[in-house]
Copies of this chain bind each other. A is one copy, B any other.
Amino acid sequence: MDLTLSEPYRILQAEIRDFIRQHGDKSPKVGGGRKRPDQKTLDWQKRLVENGYAGRTIPKEYGGFGATPDVMAAAVIAGEFARANVYAGLTNQGISMLVPTLLELGTDEQKRQYVGPTIRGDIIWCQGYSEPNNGSDLANAQTKAELKDGHWIVNGQKIWTSSAHYADMMFLLCRTEPDKSKHDGLSYLLLSMKSPGLDPRPLKTMTGRNEFNEVFFTDVKVPESQIVLGRGKGWYVANVTLKHERLMIGDAGKMTARFEQLISLLQTSEIDGTKLIAMPEYRDRLLRLQGEVMAWKAHNLRLLTEAAQGVDSGVKRMIIKYGGTMLGFRLSSLAVDALGAAGLPYESLGEDAEDDDATTWNIDYMYDVGLMIGGGSTNIQKNIIGERGLDLPREPKAAGRA
């Protein structure tokens, strides 16, 4: 255990502080981030990549900064940006899920083509996993792709595709080997959202915004080479991707940032002239959450250290999505309670402008419920923790059923 900064990291820290002093005023607002990045954000992201504060460990040849993986450096960077309340860079499904998947399993050509533009925010990805009738049962995907004359011809329907309405590309889980078993019949394709025959229709969520889409495929042509790892390997690739998603959702940095915002909210909100943070009935909840966030941050440091050592963290990693989603919801719950009646006015401006604070917290509050459902529901997560993490036996197959 050593959390002190040795010389190189103190230099890095000084560099970052200098960078923020010089350029911090160009940072987009922290938070939000369920929209297509605007020009200000793209400019900022590019600057971060150039300085190695985003895409730091992505090889130079694929458009990154080419630093060797270094948990300490990552922690210093995250810490300095959080402290200064400056935007620490894009996090989206392309950056957090597809890029690590491609780096692990993609061809050199795929890496060259997609990694750089994705980390710069120029290519936005969406995920084609769920289908109307398979909800949490992803391996049961029925959207099919047939190989004809060097192209995959895709037909079917996906749902819960976040950001499909503004994404450039999709990573798609589809059935290419109808003769094989459920899990062995899938492949993982990369395709342009501008492909003819592809029709994304926005799906409004409870937040009132179009955060998801249904996507219809009618004879959509995808070049044969746009497959990752190979035919029938889709389930394996998808699981690599999902592993990264779970880590993204339970992100300790997000929890910390949210907790800090919550403190200021309780310090500025009042009832009858008394600050809420001085009212024990609110403060006690804040204190309980502070304990939880502390544990979460420490756990994250532990995972980062293990990742840097190449250790498989097992159940410690598997709890991240479930635990993080629930913690996030408890944080936003206290926020909407602190806002109280004064926080009830609600107009989400969608992609056109910044929402006000109350609306943003209310969206978080609802979106967190969505996160309990999406990316593998809470119950699926508990199955994973119990069966893969604790090695408990699987549910026996029902007699006479599929």
Contact = CB atoms under 8 A, between A and B. Distances in A.
Interface in A381-402: 396-401
Contact of A281 (B280, B397, B399): B280
A398 B400 CA distance: 9
**Interface size range on A against B:** under 10
A328 to B, nearest CB: 23
A393 B399 CA distance: 15
A351 interface: no
Interface string A242-276: 00000000000000000000000000000000000
Contact of A396 (B280, B281, B284, B399): B399
Contacts of A396: 398-399, 401
Contact of A398 (B280, B281, B397): B397
* Number of chain copies forming the complex: 2
Interface in A273-314: 280-281, 284
Nearest to A400: B399
Contacts of A398: 396-399
A281 B397 CA distance: 48
A53 B396 CA distance: 53
A396 B395 CA distance: 11
Given A280-B284, A399-B400, 12 more contacts: A280-B280, A280-B281, A281-B284, A284-B284, A396-B398, A396-B399, A396-B401, A397-B398, A397-B399, A398-B398, A398-B399, A399-B399
14 contacts: A280-B280, A280-B281, A280-B284, A281-B284, A284-B284, A396-B398, A396-B399, A396-B401, A397-B398, A397-B399, A398-B398, A398-B399, A399-B399, A399-B400
Nearest to A285: B284
A399 B284 CA distance: 50
A212 to B, nearest CB: 28
Interface in A344-402: 396-401
Interface in A9-29: none
A57 to B, nearest CB: 45
A160 B280 CA distance: 44
Nearest to A401: B396
